[in-house]
Structure 1
Amino acid sequence: MTYQETLDFLYAQLPMFQREGKSAFKKDLSNTIALCEALDHPENAFKSVHVAGTNGKGSSSHILSAVLQSAGYKVGLYTSPHLKSFTERVKINGQPIAEDKVVEFVGGIKMHIEEIQPSFFELTVAMAFDHFRNEKVDIAIIEVGLGGRLDSTNVISPEVSLITNIGMDHMDMLGNTLELIAGEKAGIIKADTPVVVSQKQEETTPVFLEKSSQEKAPITFAEEVYQWNASNIMKSNQIFLEDVVLEAKGNYQKHNALGVLSIIDALNQKGDFFISKEAIKEGFKNLSALSGLEGRWQTLQTAPLMITDVGHNEDGWRFVLDQISTLKFNKLWMVLGVVQEKDLPNMLSKLPVEAYYFYCKPNVPRGLDASVLGEEAEKIGLKGEVISDVNEAIQAAKEKASEEDLIFIGGSTFVVAEIENL
């Protein structure tokens, strides 16, 4: 098969949550275990860090990868979903897996695919593990897809686990309270394995403390160890790093960075790794070039200022709106598209009424019809128009905006993924 034929096979034959939603999600590790057995257990062949959370797990994974690369290590990175190319999901030192490696893997395991009938995500997890083993990475950063306890990635035995912000998302699958959602995320906490929690939240802290106690897993709340003070990072009220430049510009990224610092502490304490302060600063400063991170408070142009962000749930939107409030501009234009299962009344009620909206539809089966989004927005007094195609909506916003205005594009990872020339 060619690369495109291989992708067509994956998309056609295997259910994919990002495109189809809940019907593609399997709360069971049996398929992943079967695939790993068929591949002679690649998940046991490399050291790893496991990363779960509602918001920030992708950014944290990329930041950690960049720092470890700066320290001289060969670093595998598995994240999802991808923005532009399937190969973005599996990287080594920021370089996506080669297309011919994807073809080779799928062709070599096709008999097992037909027998096991895995989901799209289960197969890509197995592909990442196999690739990292074959390429002999020093360490791999493995981002959870959904939840944690029964996520396909939860077959690894990591050096340390990281849990980022917990928010209300995927409630139909993970539970309708922060405590229940945290319980699913806490499923990545392993016996005698350190765990770092980026943010201490009132509702979720008892969940993580209880699980870590059960597993005898040392737990660290990063915000109790590290703090930002202007451009300096403090540790135990002493300056730890001076003049820090974090390339990821969203204010919410500081929470992610503090979690990464505590992960680095845990790795250094284990003795198999040495990550210097210089490597930390270099990784923070050169994040995108080293890891390939995109779509996080990313500036696409100036005059008018145009920014995009993949934030797509309640907490993600709060971070975005808080960030917008720090900017100076004349008028706000928002290109907005979402997927079907979102709590529209709750989400829309938090959006600024003074903005003008262009409602679009992400081009995936889960994408919510733009006219439905527009109708719901109109009910609560938001002003805008329906332009279903993402890039046509962006062009319309650019034509209406003046040089002193702000255009924001978001609502879904899939809207960001469709932006031309991202």
Structure 2
Amino acid sequence: MDRFYFLISALILFTAWIIPANSVAQSSSSYELIPAPDLWYNDVDGIRVGVRVKGQVPGTFEDGPHRLDAGLWLSTWFPDLPVSYYASYTNPIDRWSDFGSEASYQAITSVRTGYHRHGLGLNKRWQEGFDERRYRELSLFHSYEKRFDDEYAAFPALWSDQDKLKSTLSGQLKNDNSLGWYKIDASLGFQYLNEFYTQFQGSFIQNVKFHEYWGVNLRLFTGMASSNADPEYLFSRSSAPAIQTIDNGVTRAKGTIPQPWMESGKFQIAGGANLRGYTSQDVDTFSSSDPNVFAAPLLINSIASVNAEFDYFNPIALGFNRIPYVSEFLSFRSYLFFDAGRSLELIENEPDDLFADAGAGFSLSLNIPDYLGKPRGFVFKYELPFWLSEPGMEDSFKLRHLFSFGAVFSL
């Protein structure tokens, strides 16, 4: 109880400090703090009330030294830990930096939605001239992480409660070739505490544009994890690994997306192998409470997949493009899709079936790029997987409804 009152006092003092009575931002000639109120919701915290703060040298617009991104929140349903916080501090390394090609170090600390994350990282970006669409990035991040409260997890079976000390090396390349834009992502992680294990995942995306409304997006994905890796780092057929849900406020805790939607198997978190037609089958194993059910939850240590989408003309998309100003940020797509994948069988007892699906979909995306031109917004999709190669007890051809958040094609 003493800790509770201490945290409440800290919230009040912090808020009073960063929001002076007669000003919007607290600043000096060398630094400014820009606060903004923040509200969010999940099924454990209820309405989470707090404040977010951006810190920067005046006039640098998130591109200067001593960048701060922080937040402090109070949960109105008063769970076991009613106060949560996040803070990130980034500072360029001048010796290794140039215009558009910054090197920086970063410190992050966070305790929110039942998850600890504290770490230090090094980041380096190489950009071709003034074209922010063509770049290479490399980062190394060391962190301590732990899921300390399963109540926040939409599917607790996908999480361990072990302490983890991790190192993650990741890289990204974006450029264009004779076909169109392409992007390569790869990450390699090492976990040292208790049992040592590794995880790797990589993807290649190629965009081929025939016309403004016609084109093909192709994605190749591979993921591998050690036999003793914790479940949040393993792969399902249909969705992103559970650890990736921590990086987005919409998926970080159950209830922001209503839990009945998640448990229905009709809502997908895009990522991983992304065999979207198998979302319902996978979710059935995620939510099973019977320890005797085989492969519950159905998670795979190694998988490779291909995802393809064919964009075609739709008059709604034409309508969006004709709306002044709005069309710069809002876009609508209609497409046919095909996914296929299978385990690499790097460990025993992995399924040896080839899983495939096909269907049609529509997506609505809001994108307000950041200062580096990277996508920043959301993608909401409605898809109809009408064919599965491994339908279980259903017919292979059947009209299925799937809603999705996020996109694997984010060029």
TM-score, normalised to structure 1, is 0.28
**Structure of larger gyration radius:** 2
TM-score, normalised to structure 2, is 0.28
Task: Give the structure with the larger helix fraction.
Answer: 1
Task: Give the structure with the larger strand fraction.
Answer: 2
